[in-house]
Structure 1
Amino acid sequence: MDSGSIFLLLGVLSSFSGAYGCVFTITNNCPHPIWPGTLSGAGTPPLPTTGFLLNSGQSVRIPSTPGWSGRIWGRTGCNFDASGIGKCQTGDCGGRLECDGNGATPPASLFEITVGTGDDKDFYDVSIVDGYNLPLVVVPRGVFGPCNATGCASDLNLGCPKELQVVGGDGGQAGGVVACKSACEAFGLDQYCCSGQFANPTTCHPSIYSSIFKHACPKAYSYAYDDGTSTFTCKAYDYTIVFCPDADGTKKASNETTSNPGIEEPSNGEFIHLVSSSNIRLPFPLAVVLLIVINILF
């Protein structure tokens, strides 16, 4: 295949990604259940689900739309009744299974993203600015090649300073530290919150507490102006979000896919395999067009 054909194929892939957003593949590698939550940014529609149960070893795929922005996080120690009313020990979002526009109650580890439209790149990060409750790693699958993985694979709860600790409950850690507050939440001081006279990058600097987070998780946001080493760009068709990754930052090979209302599953007919080596999945009508293009090029 000549270089012109390669660029044409890449252009087709890029236009599909720009027209249909990306897919978030969420995996629970923790030894206990988690309840992922999603929050859309202003002006962007909610994802097909805003909160659900994900048992240990299970994965789901959630499609997004072009230009979508928002957050995804994991909740622990949750109890909900049949109507979806209840409470989570960490990451709670208004006392409901479906977050419905409510954000995570700190402390919570957050994946944040703005999905690009057209040929525009995505901007993404993992933030522990609002504290930490679960380790997570995010691995994008780029349209044009590899993208930077990011996240916080370390268990910060194990080394959390006593004054930042959230202790108790279940979530797999009965009676132990279940979350680690940010210094801003714990003390409410301007120099920790980057507010007041510290509300700019010149006067707001890393604190001893954010430095502990940064040392353990160098690619994650540790304080408000930590952009330089913590924000990444990519044009991706899939973001694999793994909670409690293995030591090498991956998930277990034996993970199964669960079924949740409003979530696209890998076996669903709307997504089909096109290139098995890179696991690209695209909406069915465009997949047919792309197969025709590939046949012409080859």
Structure 2
Amino acid sequence: MSPSKSVSFCIFLLISLSKTYTDAARFDIRNNCSFTVWIGVIPIGGHRLGPGRTWPIEVAAGTKGGRIWPRTGCLFESTGRGRCETGDCNGLLHCRDYGAPPVTLAEYALNQFNNLDFFDISLVYGFNVPIEFSSDSGNCTRGIMCTEDINGQCPSQLRAPGGCNNPCTVFKTDEYCCNSGNCGPTEYSKFFKQLCPDAYSYPKDDQNSTFTCPGGTNYKVGISCTADINGRCPDPLRAPGGCNNPCTVFKTDEYCCNSGNCGPTEYSKFFKQRCPDAYSYPKDDQTSTFTCPGGTNYKVVFCP
């Protein structure tokens, strides 16, 4: 990974795929985050996945057009109907269609030409959270990833709640959508490709972004939902390269606590929700201060 990567991992979903040519493929999807996520899988459906929980599924050998994607900001009723901020599939918990942009996709086709599995990471529908996709067997050592801070660096024209759109979604022109089949890289596709060189950045991208392993290979897909404060920063707080505290922007007692008499605000709750251990405003909960005995050694890591 690049030393400049500014993604802080708070979710890791491990998807282990094992199969033979005739058997179903097994996916063990695990949520290692401290909060609930929702997974979309074609052709299986979808699932609410609580912290530390695993969802085992099986996909038939020979499956084509398979997709795995994370959905964020979801709220569903007991009927299974609702909505997700990113990756929504027509308001259904159990997906029947592909997820709506912006969404990062892990794509696969099992036991195809010469009994090969084909897999890739695609940003053709934009980006919402980082993904790693790799084989997990000794007979094939392939691995791809897209783990850079695309949301935080997303061009302003492509910004969307919870993610970063592909330009086709925004502009809907042949230059970006390649409907005629005759298009090339653009300034926007180069933005995605520079940050995630292994991933598809537009529909006619380099075929080197497709990887293969023999049928029967095991796989891991790590979907890493980040705190992504820069990418989701409220518009009034946005700043080049970061996200301001409201005191810096508005300079009022409500946010700066100069009188010593203030409480949480909509903006402080935004920060606290994403980084519960950190101070979000001057009079925040004292549990955000930690202690150790004198003489302790410490590490401070930027971009962990």
TM class by smaller structure: 0.5 to 0.7
Matches within 5 A, 1:37-76: 37-40=40-43, 47=44, 50-69=45-64, 70-76=66-72
Aligned partners of 2:108 and 2:117 also within 8 Å: yes
Q: How many angstroms apart in 2 are the aligned matches of 1:226 and 1:147? A: 23
User: Which of 131, 137, 142 is matched with 1:136 structurally?
Assistant: 131
Question: For residue 218 of structure 2, what is the aligned residue in structure 1?
Answer: 238
The alpha-carbon distance between structure 1 residues 147 and 188, as it changes in their structure 2 partners (threshold 3 A), is same
Which protein has greater RCO, CA pairs closer than 8 Å, 6+ apart?
Answer: 1
Q: CA deviation at 1:147?
A: 2.6
Question: For residue 256 of structure 1, what is the aligned residue in structure 2?
Answer: none
Query: Bigger radius of gyration, 1 or 2?
Result: 2
User: Which of 73, 98, 101 is matched with 1:77 structurally?
Assistant: 73
* Runs of 4+, deviation exceeding 6 Å: none
Q: State percent identity of aligned pairs.
A: 37
Q: CA deviation at 1:56?
A: 3.7
Question: For residue 182 of structure 1, what is the aligned residue in structure 2?
Answer: 166
| TM-score, normalised by the number of residues in structure 2 | 0.63
Partner deviation per Cα, 1:162-213 (whole Å, 9 max, x = no partner): 110113xxxxxxxxxx1100011111111111123xx13xxx1111111111
Partner deviation per Cα, 1:45-85 (whole Å, 9 max, x = no partner): xx3xx100123444333222110121111100000111111
Q: How many angstroms apart in 2 are the aligned matches of 1:77 and 1:245? A: 11
Q: How many angstroms apart in 2 are the aligned matches of 1:33 and 1:136? A: 17
Q: How many angstroms apart in 1 are the aligned matches of 2:46 and 2:115? A: 28
For structure 1, the residue ranges without an aligned partner over 5 or more in a row are 1-15, 41-46, 168-177, 247-298
Partner deviation per Cα, 1:66-110 (whole Å, 9 max, x = no partner): 1012111110000011111100010000101101x2111111111
The alpha-carbon distance between structure 1 residues 163 and 140, as it changes in their structure 2 partners (threshold 3 A), is same
Partner deviation per Cα, 1:205-241 (whole Å, 9 max, x = no partner): 1111111111111111111112422100002443221
Question: For residue 33 of structure 1, what is the aligned residue in structure 2?
Answer: 36
Q: How many angstroms apart in 2 are the aligned matches of 1:37 and 1:164? A: 23
Q: How many angstroms apart in 1 are the aligned matches of 2:78 and 2:21? A: 38
Q: Does 1:19 align with 2:14?
A: no
Structure 2 counterpart of 1:182, one-letter code: N
The alpha-carbon distance between structure 1 residues 87 and 94, as it changes in their structure 2 partners (threshold 3 A), is same
For structure 2, the residue ranges without an aligned partner over 5 or more in a row are 1-18, 227-304
3-state secondary structure, aligned to 1:17? coil
Partner deviation per Cα, 1:223-279 (whole Å, 9 max, x = no partner): 111242210000244322111189xxxxxxxxxxxxxxxxxxxxxxxxxxxxxxxxx
Aligned partners of 2:89 and 2:98 also within 8 Å: yes
Q: CA deviation at 1:117?
A: 6.0
The alpha-carbon distance between structure 1 residues 113 and 159, as it changes in their structure 2 partners (threshold 3 A), is same
| TM-score, normalised by the number of residues in structure 1 | 0.64
Partner deviation per Cα, 1:127-157 (whole Å, 9 max, x = no partner): 0111111111112223x52331113112311
The alpha-carbon distance between structure 1 residues 111 and 35, as it changes in their structure 2 partners (threshold 3 A), is same
Q: Aligned-residue CA RMSD in angstroms? A: 2.3
Question: For residue 120 of structure 2, what is the aligned residue in structure 1?
Answer: 125
Question: For residue 232 of structure 2, what is the aligned residue in structure 1?
Answer: none
Q: Does 1:192 align with 2:176?
A: yes
Aligned partners of 1:27 and 1:58 also within 8 Å: yes
Partner deviation per Cα, 1:12-44 (whole Å, 9 max, x = no partner): xxxx6111142223333455422111123xxxx
Aligned partners of 1:128 and 1:222 also within 8 Å: yes
Q: Does 1:158 align with 2:145?
A: no
